[in-house]
């Protein structure tokens, strides 16, 4: 165990996997200088510029070339810089990477990790702040991972690199400096297994990525109001851990899903629908209003799902 | 049409190309027959009249070289070595098709022969091909990737991105623009600014050549020289092969948007007739030339009969090969 940052955890994961498997390589803009956020710092010195490869600002080529390289037996880790920019490569991800195995009748696999940092981060405005995870959860063939902690950013990135499916790996930009204990060496977090970070009998709160930390703080506040909230970090949106969520809601009878992404068509809707179908439980969603994200802090904060909003929603559900 | 005088024609080589082109033509005609018989269920995009590009370019590749093709890719796939019966089974959506009946005409792939897929999205194969070549370079292999796309693809972003990528990384890939003059049902020239495919490729730093795409020996000679340069580590090359699509965009497009005399004139220049003329000129007997056509038609006729006799895949195939993690449950409904 060592106390390291969310960013350093991912850097260690990639370095360990590259040492273990010579077919793993990373490609994206500015990687030779450590990447836009520093998450590749020092790696080119160890692995060389062929395996920690710079790329032109050509999102379609970065992603599309990685599809070809993956079909030829290598395991690319693709850096898209911002999930917003990955929209320039939606054909390559959705029509090509996600479908090659199926439409070619199982003749190939596309083992690639597509790193798409998400989320609001210091007045980054409308084209550098979005949380688009639900888009990819909708696409058969893709795995969607949204780590919330340093330990998970190590264990989930290692699992993503070893996965034979294309994995959309969405780190939250605001979590880069977050520090916590991270296991050394071989630490693998399986996909589709949620993490219950707090147990409680009154309500189940499901979230993922940075919003998990907002929910954890809300749960502390709720405890002062004698409301015991169970908080579940979903970790992966596809596959998502229905068993853990449904088991929790069957005990608490109430479910709140909170996410930073726009509420309309967000993944919270899917979780709410499944829970209602199976348990008929009382469900509620908290997501952003359907508005672009603004630059000014006041405008940015106006669409943020806050701790206060989470507390208020739960108190209304519980009735105290 | 008069041929450029050519000394020392390799008759065996030309004969092999002639047979390949006859096989492609017969396969396309079988596919069109399947469309009429309602056993080809989805859209097909025939390459009738363009067979010399498939035979010449793919004929210059090694068996372990890699090929990526387009929605109009039956000829390329057959030339790379895919089985005609497996291809017709795929077009008919049957068990034993190259993709188990799950891809159809636009997603035919045969990884056993290095054919990494047709593609339903114009130009999408260009960046994938660059990446396949990137992997070859990373692994230190001496394979070459050949990426064939149409003239319409040069107006898509991945054309710029893929060619630049291949040039910057010095990758072993031959880009082939199979220019049949039409982007779907629109004349490509009317929607394309500048000097065309080769000019664009040269602007990105790729050595580029133009070739008469209906002259199979010229296509093969040019492709062969380029592939040798690529295999020797010379980086990517670009071949612009000019041909003409004798059919419509799809199997049901009668192409009323072009004058009949234009089509009639181009029919006289189609590549199989030209190869046959060359063979005759070199002293090959008419019966031998005719034997290629007969053999090709017999092969496709037998393949057709076998393919229509094959069953459709069971509905469980809908849930197979989606993904390892989070795969849909069999019989999810």
pLDDT of chain B, 333 residues: tens digit per residue: 444 555 578 999 999 999 999 999 999 999 999 999 999 999 999 999 999 999 999 999 999 999 999 999 999 999 999 999 999 999 999 999 999 999 999 999 999 999 999 999 999 999 999 999 999 999 999 999 999 999 999 999 999 999 999 999 999 999 999 999 999 999 999 999 999 999 999 999 999 999 999 999 999 999 999 999 999 999 999 999 999 999 999 999 999 999 999 999 999 999 999 999 999 999 999 999 999 999 999 999 999 999 999 999 999 999 999 999 999 987 655
CA distance A61 to chain B (A): 5
A176 and A35, same structural domain?
yes
Select from B101, B127, B320 the Cβ nearest to the Cβ of A65.
B127
Across chain B, the runs of DSSP E, i.e. the strands, are 66-68, 145-150, 173-179, 182-183, 186-187, 208-212, 237-242
Residues A172, A131 share a domain: yes
**Sheet architecture: strand order including A195-198:** A195-198, A229-233, A203-207, A254-262, A282-288
Radius of gyration of chain B from its Cα atoms, rounded to whole angstroms: 20
3-state helix/strand/coil string of B187-208: EHHHHCCCCCHHHHHHHCCCCE
Q: What is the pTM of this model?
A: 0.96
Inform me whether the pLDDT recorded for A31 exceeds 60. Answer: yes
Assess if residue A28 is contained within a domain. Answer: yes
- B263 located within any domain: yes
Residues A19, A142: one domain? yes
Residue B250 placed within a domain: yes
Residue B333 has a pLDDT of: 57
CB contact under 8 A, B165 and A191: no
Interface of B with A in 82-101 (CB under 8 A): 97-101
Residue A228 lies in a domain: yes
Whether residue A214 lies inside any domain: the answer is yes
Same domain, A235 and A176: no
Burial A110-123 (b: 16+ CB within 10 A, else e): bbbbbbbbbbbbee
Which residues in chain A have their CB less than 8 angstroms from residue B127's CB? Answer: 60-61, 63-65, 67-68, 92
Tell me which chain B residues have a C-beta less than 8 angstroms from the C-beta of A70.
131, 135
Domain residue limits at B292: 11-307
* pLDDT digit string, tens, across residues A41-73: 999 999 999 999 999 999 999 999 999 999 999
Rounded distance, CA A119 to CA B128, Å? 29
Q: How far apart are CA B68 and CA B116, in angstroms?
A: 5
Domains contained in chain B, number = 1
3-state secondary structure of A100: helix
Question: In CATH, what number is assigned to the domain containing residue A141?
Answer: 3.40.50.970
CATH number of A225's domain: 3.40.50.920
Residue B184 located in a structural domain: yes
Is position B97 within any domain?
A: yes
Domain identity same for A12 and A90: yes
Q: Which of B119, B131, B168 sits opposite A66 (nearest CB)?
A: B131
Distance CA A318, CA A282 (A): 10
Across the interface, do A67 and B131 touch by the CB < 8 Å criterion? yes
Q: pLDDT digits over A294-311, tens only?
A: 999 999 999 999 999 999
Looking at the domain assignment, is residue B142 inside a domain? yes
What pLDDT is recorded for position B332?
A: 56
A190 in any annotated domain? no
Distance from CA of B296 to the nearest CA of A (A): 26
Give how far the C-alpha of residue B233 lies from the chain's centroid of Cα atoms, to the nearest Å. Answer: 25
B91/chain A closest Cα distance in angstroms: 13
Does one domain contain both A222 and A309? yes
Does the structure show a pLDDT above 50 at A226? Answer: yes
In a domain, A279, yes or no: yes
Same-domain check for residues A205 and A228: yes
**Residues of A in Cβ contact (< 8 Å) with B126:** 64
- Put simply, whether B134 touches A (Cβ < 8 Å) is yes
H helices present in chain A, as ranges: 6-20, 43-47, 59-71, 90, 100-103, 133-137, 150-162, 211-224, 242-252, 267-279, 297-301, 307-318
Q: Do A96 and A228 fall within a single domain?
A: no
pLDDT, mean of residues A165-178: 98
Residues A40 and A119 both lie in one domain: yes
Cα dist from B50 to A148, B53, B83, B174, whole Å = 54, 6, 20, 18
Secondary structure of residue B123 in the 3-state scheme: coil
Q: Is residue B303 part of a domain?
A: yes
Q: Do B128 and A65 touch (CB under 8 A)?
A: yes
Among the three residues A182, A210, A230, which one is the final residue of a domain in this structure? A182
B135 lies within 8 A of chain A by CB: yes
d(C-alpha A238, C-alpha A134), whole Å: 9
Domain annotation covers residue A187: no
Mean per-residue pLDDT, A130-134: 98
CA distance A195 to A235: 7
Task: Tell me if ipTM is over 0.85.
Answer: yes
Residue A75 lies in a domain: yes
The predicted pLDDT at position B219 comes to 98
Q: Tell me what pLDDT residue A320 has.
A: 86
Q: Provide the pairing of β-strand B237-242 with B173-179.
A: parallel
Tell me, yes or no, if A128 is annotated catalytic: yes
Q: Decide if B98 and A163 are in contact by the 8 Å CB cutoff.
A: no
| Distance of alpha carbon A211 from alpha carbon A217, whole angstroms | 10
CATH of the domain at B208: 3.40.50.970
DSSP, collapsed to helix, strand or coil, labels residue A237 as: strand
At B6 the pLDDT is 55
Q: Which domain holds residue A36?
A: 2-182
The three-state secondary structure class of B4 is coil
- Please report whether residue B149 resides in a domain: yes
- Asked if A102 lies within 8 A of B97 by C-beta distance, the reply is no
Q: Is residue B68 one of the residues assigned to a domain?
A: yes
Tokens of residue A161, six digits: 């690199």
Which residues of chain B neighbour A165 with C-beta distances below 8 Å? 323-325
Q: Average pLDDT, whole number, for chain A?
A: 97
The domain tally of chain A equals 2
Judge contact between B55 and B24, C-beta under 8 A: yes
pLDDT of residue B2: 44
């Amino acid at each position: 165990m060592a106390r390291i940052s969310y960013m350093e955890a991912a850097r260690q994961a990639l370095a360990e996997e590259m040492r273990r498997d010579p077919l793993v390589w990373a490609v994206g803009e500015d990687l030779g200088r450590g990447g836009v956020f520093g998450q590749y710092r020092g790696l080119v010195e160890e692995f060389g510029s062929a395996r920690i490869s710079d790329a032109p600002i050509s999102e379609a080529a970065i992603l599309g070339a990685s599809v070809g390289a993956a079909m030829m037996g290598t395991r690319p880790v693709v850096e898209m810089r911002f999930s917003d920019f990955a929209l320039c490569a939606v054909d390559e991800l959705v029509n090509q990477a996600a479908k090659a195995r199926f439409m070619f009748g199982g003749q190939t696999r596309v083992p690639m990790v597509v790193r798409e940092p998400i989320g609001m981060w210091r007045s980054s405005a409308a084209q550098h702040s979005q949380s688009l995870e639900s888009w990819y959860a909708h696409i058969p063939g893709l795995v969607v991972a949204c780590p919330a902690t340093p330990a998970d950013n190590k264990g989930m990135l290692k699992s993503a690199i070893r996965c034979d499916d294309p994995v959309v790996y969405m780190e939250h930009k605001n979590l880069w400096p977050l520090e916590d204990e991270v296991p050394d060496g071989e630490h693998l977090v399986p996909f589709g297994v949620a993490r219950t970070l707090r147990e409680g009998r009154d309500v189940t709160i499901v979230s993922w990525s940075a919003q998990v930390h907002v929910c954890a703080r809300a749960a502390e506040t709720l405890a002062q109001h004698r409301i015991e909230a169970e908080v579940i970090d979903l970790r992966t949106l596809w596959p998502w851990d229905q068993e853990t969520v449904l088991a929790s809601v069957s005990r608490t009878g109430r479910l709140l899903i909170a996410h930073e992404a726009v509420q309309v068509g967000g993944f919270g809707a899917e979780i709410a629908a499944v829970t209602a179908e199976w348990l008929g439980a009382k469900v509620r969603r908290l997501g952003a209003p359907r508005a672009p994200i603004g630059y000014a802090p006041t405008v940015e904060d106006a669409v943020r799902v806050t701790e206060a909003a989470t507390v208020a929603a739960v108190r209304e559900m519980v009735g105290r | 049409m008069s041929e450029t005088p050519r000394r020392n024609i390799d008759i065996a080589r030309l004969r092999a190309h002639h047979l390949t082109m006859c096989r492609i033509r017969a396969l396309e005609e079988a596919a069109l027959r399947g469309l009429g018989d309602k056993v080809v269920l989805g859209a097909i995009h025939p390459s009738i009249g363009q067979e010399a590009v498939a035979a010449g370019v793919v004929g210059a590749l090694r068996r372990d070289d890699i090929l990526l093709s387009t929605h109009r890719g039956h000829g390329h796939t057959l030339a790379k070595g895919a089985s005609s019966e497996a291809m017709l089974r795929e077009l008919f959506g049957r068990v034993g098709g190259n993709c188990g009946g799950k891809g159809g005409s636009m997603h035919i792939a045969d990884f056993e022969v290095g054919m990494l897929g047709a593609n339903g999205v114009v130009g999408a194969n260009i960046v994938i091909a660059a990446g396949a070549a990137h992997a070859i370079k990373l692994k230190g292999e001496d394979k070459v990737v050949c990426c064939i796309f149409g003239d319409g693809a040069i107006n898509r972003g991945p054309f710029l991105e893929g060619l630049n990528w291949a040039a910057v990384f010095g990758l072993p890939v031959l880009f082939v623009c199979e220019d049949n003059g039409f982007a779907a049902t629109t004349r490509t020239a009317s929607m394309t600014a500048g000097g065309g495919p080769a000019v664009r490729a040269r602007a990105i730093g790729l050595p580029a050549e133009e070739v008469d795409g209906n002259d199979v020996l010229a296509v093969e000679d040019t492709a062969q020289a380029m592939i040798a340069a690529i295999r020797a580590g010379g980086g990517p090359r670009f071949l612009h092969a000019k041909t003409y699509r004798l059919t419509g965009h799809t199997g049901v497009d009668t192409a009323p948007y072009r004058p009949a005399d234009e089509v009639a004139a181009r029919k006289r220049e189609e590549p199989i007739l030209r190869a046959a003329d060359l063979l005759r000129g070199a002293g090959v007997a008419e019966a031998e030339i005719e034997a290629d056509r007969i053999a090709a038609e017999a092969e496709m006729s037998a393949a057709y009969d076998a393919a229509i006799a094959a069953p459709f895949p069971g509905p469980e195939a809908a849930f197979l090969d989606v993904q390892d993690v989070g795969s849909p449950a069999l019989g999810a409904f």
